[in-house]
A and B are shown apart, each in its own frame.
Chain A
């Protein structure tokens, strides 16, 4: 094949640099034609190739005896015993959601579910950590309302419960919301299928929705560039895909039947970069090649160009690799589920990905399949800490106007307005649902439905304030918080997935943040013995060249070994003792990175409180053990907003108050020293409990007792439960519930 060189403006418009074009030229030994260039541009995009982050991600711990599949496949897979494996993955859909909130979020859910059933697993849970601009900004409210509706509209209909997540509002996300989605599925261990094509002559069958002009260049033009006010971001709307949950539901059921009957030898979902990605990935993983007939692709409209068909990101499509003798049965199952199936490819032995107009027709593109992946550029981009870091660290974040009662009322927010829009109970597994620390699901065998007597726990956590002040320690603390959350429902960690939401990688301080965060995550995962089994990197989260605060989001999967009773929950019981477990901060503890400092004191600088990772490991393990042995009356992780917010949430949950001895100052109430948990214990159990804590090397201190209809932090600060409940429950419905202004 030969092609005339195109104008340099062409590859630049597709998001490829001049150096990258030259590299393609070298790989092919000639100029690429337009179709080939389009294929490289999507596969070598930041979104698909991880070209800026790969060099750092290699430092994460990824191995443990229970890890069946680590990073690099469609989802990580963990062996959880009793012949059951769990598939888990997290992804971002930040950029599409900024432009078209409902469809951006909906297709985010759809995309990650396909990653799970691609592995042969039935998706049984979704978690949605969401971050938006402040509630007083109309456009941010419009985005938040649309995203929540999109998760609800798609997730409920496709039939996968949304069992937890987070919702955060902050100035940093004003132009660039973060919409991350985690999905988990279960499969019989023996059914594990990988996304690879092998066996010359095997067929590649495209299943599901027709290919349209939606989402062309979504990964390159949209997801791998920032936003700015001057360009019309609405122009990017055609790059956002449109979701159809009913198509996805039928596709899911059809694919699970194909896998159950053993009819496919490899299967791959179509997400970013569409057919180009699915065909080249399956071929290169299987060490094979593939002929793809573009004329066989069922399309939504007439006259689509080959490059459009090859790069479209139309949703609800899968590519199955099938031996020819199974074709008829595959077509039968597809017909039963009203799914369109087209044979679009044939596996070849030569390692070449060829795009043809008819299997015997004209060759439109020909390139070594593996070059789209293995030869993607890898950058070790320049990095350096922000120039003003040393000065920033000198700030005292404890200063500001203090009114402990009003500050607490401003910091409590009940998220139930959000999660009551999500089906969080489907499949009858939800023991602890959204609105608590961790989520806890019954673990049953996916084929027989047999109870294992055990539970799976999930939590997703991020904290941009901690990570802005100190990305390395901040990320350690985020991992610790996620693990602490599942400990509160009685689970020990098994694995971690992560979604790294950062700004523009061409800014050296962003690359420094990313590198530091990876190191912090690595250190924490090693300490908790929780390998990283998958992740996603979302860069270019910036508006008008201002990067978002670094926001690594951690998803942790854990196991409750003996689930016979529900965990105690967060609700305060009457007449019990309140204790804090974990290192007690001194009265001069730093307020740097705390929600109080950012939202009340107005200071985003300073340093984080000292944090001892190994103490946090011991505390988490002790909490999980105490919950499993039913020693606690209530338990709640202390996170953003500190002790006061944690205690308020516990009191609001049960309508029972508490009286503390000596905490009536803003530092004791709102500092965010990490690795701490609030627990309630019956008076008579105290001595035993303290003895066990000491034996396990865990600090434990009685701070007060429960009861009454107010929270008393000491002689000078008392807040009635009625006021707390009103402040907490009204915020989201008042801001978002009355319909919102379209921006």
Chain B
């Protein structure tokens, strides 16, 4: 379990150092990849971390999808490489068409930073190794646009193909079906709004996020 993880940094990204720290604490290697480079430097997994890529101007993730590095990420994902988008990274992956659906503003029309309980719905993905459906985790959220939405057709596909990864037990933002995270059909690309890297130490209030990242590092 010494997977080399590339953590992508756009101008405006702010969780890149936290993600690198969390990966290292869990025994992985991590390096930061600049959005303007088109090489992934032979890393074995990719995290698109949280933050405000390009200021979230226009629409979250809408400008980031055009960064040179995203073409490489798309090829990497098509070849089955593990990709995790956290928060803003999830938004970028939906804008890039690597995950279905979209994230719109929270129903309360406010930014929300708080601890949330989430539950595994499907473990057939790069975050699920070692966990079981129904497992409950305490992981914080930190977003304004976390309200997951998709067409009825996509929603029914997500349900039948086990693409809903995590759901909130107490929906904070209005997401359809309480969705907190989804994956692509093959389960190698996952996006989630909660921040697993913020739940990797009891000193910070929860270490439940470590299970997800450990799975990501070992699959």
Can you name 18 A-B pairs with beta carbons within 8 Å?
Answer: A156-B142, A157-B56, A159-B12, A245-B52, A246-B12, A249-B12, A249-B14, A249-B52, A250-B11, A253-B11, A336-B36, A421-B113, A422-B113, A426-B142, A427-B17, A428-B18, A428-B198, A566-B202
B28 close to chain A: CB less than 8 A: no
**Distance in Å: Cβ of A236 to nearest Cβ of chain B:** 28
B55 touches A246 (CB 8 A): yes
Q: Does A424 contact B (CB under 8 A)?
A: yes
Specify which chain B residues have a CB less than 8 angstroms from the CB of A246 in the assembled complex.
Answer: 11-12, 52, 54-57
Cβ contact within 8 Å between B198 and A159: no
What's the Cα separation between A359 and B57 when bound, in Å?
Answer: 38
Docked pose: A448 CA to B18 CA in angstroms: 13
Contacts of A337 in B (CB 8 A): 11
Return the CB mask of B72-86 against A: 1 if under 8 Å, else 0.
000000000000000
Cβ–Cβ contact A423 & B142, under 8 A: yes
Given the interface pairs A420-B114, A421-B110, A424-B113, the reply to whether A249 lies near B204 with Cβ below 8 Å is: no
Determine the chain A residues whose CB is within 8 A of the CB of B198 once the complex forms: 425, 428
Is B152 in contact with chain A by the CB < 8 A criterion? no
User: With contacts A424-B113, A425-B142, A449-B21 known, is A737 near B14, CB below 8 A?
Assistant: no
Contact of B112 among A421, A426, A449 (CB under 8 A): A421
Q: Does A193 contact B (CB under 8 A)?
A: no
CB distance from A737 to the nearest CB of B (A): 7
Chain B residues, Cβ within 8 Å of A260? none
CA separation between A210 and B121, bound complex, in Å? 49
Who on chain B is nearest to A428 by CB?
A: B18
- Give CA–CA (A278, B202) in the complex, Å: 45
Bound CA span A153–B52, Å: 11
- Given A159-B52, A246-B11, A246-B55, A428 contacting B197 (CB threshold 8 A): yes
Query: In the complex, what residues of A have CB within 8 A of residue B112's CB?
Result: 420-421
| Chain A: CB-nearest residue to B112 | A420
Instruction: Confirm or deny: A563 has a beta carbon within 8 angstroms of a beta carbon on chain B.
Output: yes
Report B108-130 CB contacts with A as 1/0, cut-off 8 Å. Answer: 11111110000000000000000
A156 to B200, CA, bound (A): 21
Chain A 559-616 interface residues, beta-carbon cutoff 8 Å to B: 563, 565-566
Smallest CB-CB A-B distances: 6 pairs: A246-B55, A159-B14, A157-B52, A421-B111, A152-B111, A428-B18
- Complex Cα distance, B201 from A566, in Å, reads 11
Cβ contact within 8 Å between B18 and A426? yes
The contact of A156 among B17, B111, B201, by CB within 8 Å, is B111
**Given A156-B52, A253-B11, list of 19 further CB < 8 A pairs?**
A157-B52, A245-B52, A245-B55, A246-B11, A246-B56, A249-B52, A249-B55, A250-B12, A337-B11, A338-B11, A420-B113, A421-B111, A423-B111, A423-B113, A425-B113, A425-B198, A426-B142, A427-B17, A431-B203
Mask for A417-459, Cβ within 8 A of B = 1, else 0? 0011111111110110000000000100000010000000000
Chain B 129-148, CB-CB to A under 8 Å as 1, else 0, gives 00000000000101010000
Query: How many angstroms between the C-alpha atoms of A430 and B203 in the bound complex?
Result: 8
Q: Are A426 and B12 in contact (CB under 8 A)?
A: no
Q: Is the interface of B mostly helix, strand, loop or mixed?
A: mixed
Digit string of B148-185 for contact with A (CB within 8 Å is 1, else 0)? Answer: 00000000000000000000000000000000000000
B residues less than 8 Å from A419 (CB atoms): 113
Interface status of B51 (Cβ within 8 A of chain A): yes
What's the least CB distance linking B72 to chain A, in Å?
Answer: 19
Check if A157 sits within 8 Å of B113, measured CB to CB: no
Residues of A within 8 A of B (CB): 152-153, 156-157, 159, 244-246, 249-250, 253, 336-338, 416, 419-428, 430-431, 442, 449, 563, 565-566, 737, 739
Bound CA–CA A565/B201 (angstroms): 11
CA distance A546 to B41 in the complex (A): 65
CA distance A423 to B111 in the complex (A): 9
Q: How far is the CA of A329 from the CA of B14 in the complex (A)?
A: 24
Closest to B198 in A: A425
Asked if B113 contacts A431 (CB within 8 A), the reply is no
Verify A425–B52 contact, CB threshold 8 A. no
What residues on B are CB-neighbors of A427 within 8 Å? 17-18
Q: Are A157 and B200 in contact (CB under 8 A)?
A: no
Which residues of chain B are within 8 angstroms of A152 by Cβ–Cβ distance?
Answer: 110-111
Q: Does B5 contact A (CB under 8 A)?
A: no
Task: Please tell me if B15 contacts chain A, counting CB pairs below 8 Å.
Answer: yes
User: In the complex, A430→B144 CA distance in Å?
Assistant: 21
A563 to B202, CA, bound (A): 12
Contact (Cβ within 8 A) A425 B140: yes
Residue of A nearest to B11 (CB): A250
Shortest C-beta distance, A703 to chain B (Å), equals: 30
Q: Tell me the smallest distance from the CB of B69 to a CB of chain A, in Å.
A: 14
Chain A residues with Cβ below 8 Å from B110 are 152, 420-421, 737
CB of A160, distance to nearest CB on chain B (Å): 8
B22 at the interface (CB under 8 A from A): yes
The residue among A419, A428, A431 with the most chain B CB atoms within 10 A of its own CB is A428
Q: Are the CB atoms of B12 and A157 closer together than 8 Å?
A: yes
In the docked arrangement, what's the CA distance between A539 and B80, Å? Answer: 62
Q: For the complex formed, measure the closest distance between the CB of B110 and the CB atoms of chain A, giving whole angstroms.
A: 5
A350 to chain B, nearest CB (A): 40
Known: A152-B111, A427-B17, A566-B203. A159 touches B51 (CB 8 A): yes
Which chain A residue shows the least CB distance to B195?
Answer: A425
Chain A residues with Cβ below 8 Å from B140 are: 425
Q: Which residue of A lies closest to B13 (CB)?
A: A159
Interface contact A430-B204, CB-CB below 8 Å: yes
Q: A156-B111, A420-B114 are in contact. Are A442 and B203 (CB under 8 A)?
A: yes
> With A246-B11, A246-B12, A423-B113 in contact, do A428 and B201 touch (Cβ < 8 Å)?
yes
Choose among B14, B200, B204 the residue with the greatest number of A CB atoms under 10 Å from its CB.
B14
Q: Shortest distance in angstroms between A323's beta carbon and chain B's nearest beta carbon?
A: 27
Q: Distance (Å) between the CB of B127 and the closest chain A CB? A: 19
Cβ distance A440 to chain B, nearest Cβ, rounded Å: 9
A428 & B22 in contact (Cβ 8 Å cutoff):
yes
Q: Which residues of A contact B15 (CB under 8 A)?
A: 426
Contact B14 A563 (CB under 8 A): no
Q: Which residues of B contact A250 (CB under 8 A)?
A: 11-12
CB contacts (< 8 Å) of A428 on chain B: these are 18, 21-22, 197-198, 200-201, 204
CB distance from A161 to the nearest CB of B (A): 9
Contact partners of B111 in chain A: CB under 8 A: 152-153, 156, 421-423
Q: Across the interface, name the chain B residue whose C-beta is closest to A246.
A: B55
| Residues of chain B with a CB closer than 8 A to A423's CB | 111, 113, 142
Q: Which of A250, A419, A426, A430 has the most chain B CB atoms inside 10 A of its CB?
A: A426
